[in-house]
Amino acid sequence: MNADSALACLKRGNAAFLAGINNPHQANGPANPMPTLEHRPFAVVLACSDARVPIERIFNQGFGELFVIRVAGNVADAAQIASVEYAVAELDVSLVLVLGHTGCGAVSTAVNARQTQTPAPTRALSELLAQINPALDRLEADNDAVPAAVWHNVAYQGERLVSDSELLADRVARHQLRIVGACCETASGHVDFDDAS
Ligand SMILES: [Zn+2]
């Protein structure tokens, strides 16, 4: 499936979710969990781990349809980039959606740590926040920082996929891959897509 079709599929899926229409693949039980044995997802979603934003549900997709990478703050570190590379190179996926969400705890923590100059309580968290911090450099004012920071973080992590991966950069340059940002409104599940480019 090409990137534009995959994006349209995600948009239709989110509209169906909001309308309360259930994908029959989601209803499959343990007796028949997979509609097919082939691993052919049509999109990668790099998303936050927040439990209120279940990726297959909000896009109304079932088993085998999305290659989902979840990590607090939807950051594009080496493991996430390698996962995207696998999906693109081996599974022929042509769309990567970098999905943030409103009220993101990781982004809020990064914003607060920066505003209060408080060091993170653990080394691992410090390393995570360091991956969000460059996005916060793009904030213009401290007022209402978190909503803007979520979008800046989505854009920044999408840029990292290209700047830190020759494979992905090459696919994008050849128009074989699209990387699109989006933000899910956590309370409703509504997804805003930033797909003007
Ligand atoms: Zn989050």
- pLDDT value of residue 21: 84
Higher pLDDT, 8 or 35: 8
- pLDDT value of residue 143: 62
Residues with C-beta atoms within 5 A of ion ligand 1: 48, 50, 104, 106
**Integer Cα distance of 128 and 72 in angstroms:** 8
Helix axes 145-163, 105-116, angle to 10 degrees: 110
| Mean pLDDT computed over 20-43 | 71
Tell me if residue 157 falls in helix, strand or coil.
Answer: helix
For residue 26, give the DSSP letter: G
Q: How far, in Å, from the CA of 174 to the mean position of ligand 1?
A: 32
Tell me if residue 148 falls in helix, strand or coil.
Answer: helix
Q: How far, in Å, from the CA of 37 to the mean position of ligand 1?
A: 31
Number of residues that this document lists for the chain: 197
Run of H or E including 66 = strand 66-70
- Calculate the alpha carbon distances from 107 to 32, 134, 143, 171, 194 in Å: 38, 12, 15, 29, 19
Q: Of the candidates 65, 92, 62, 95, which has an alpha carbon nearest to the alpha carbon of residue 161? A: 95
Q: How far, in Å, from the CA of 35 to the mean position of ligand 1?
A: 30
Q: How far, in Å, from the CA of 132 to the mean position of ligand 1?
A: 12
Q: How far, in Å, from the CA of 123 to the mean position of ligand 1?
A: 19
Domains of the chain in start order, with CATH, are: 3-26+47-194 (3.40.1050.10)
- The answer to whether residue 141 scores a pLDDT higher than 80 is no
| pLDDT tens digit sequence for 68-116 | 999 999 999 999 999 999 999 999 999 999 999 999 999 999 999 999 9
Run of H or E including 57 = helix 55-58
Q: How far, in Å, from the CA of 49 to the mean position of ligand 1?
A: 6
Return mean pLDDT, the chain. 92
Q: How far, in Å, from the CA of 52 to the mean position of ligand 1?
A: 9
| Mean pLDDT computed over 25-35 | 58
Q: How far, in Å, from the CA of 137 to the mean position of ligand 1?
A: 19
Q: How far, in Å, from the CA of 38 to the mean position of ligand 1?
A: 31
Percentage of residues in the chain with pLDDT exceeding 90?
Answer: 82
Q: How far, in Å, from the CA of 48 to the mean position of ligand 1?
A: 5
Contacts of 80 (CB under 8 A, 6+ apart): 46, 69, 71
Tell me if residue 144 falls in helix, strand or coil.
Answer: coil
Q: How far, in Å, from the CA of 131 to the mean position of ligand 1?
A: 14
CA 2 vs. chain centroid, Å, equals 18
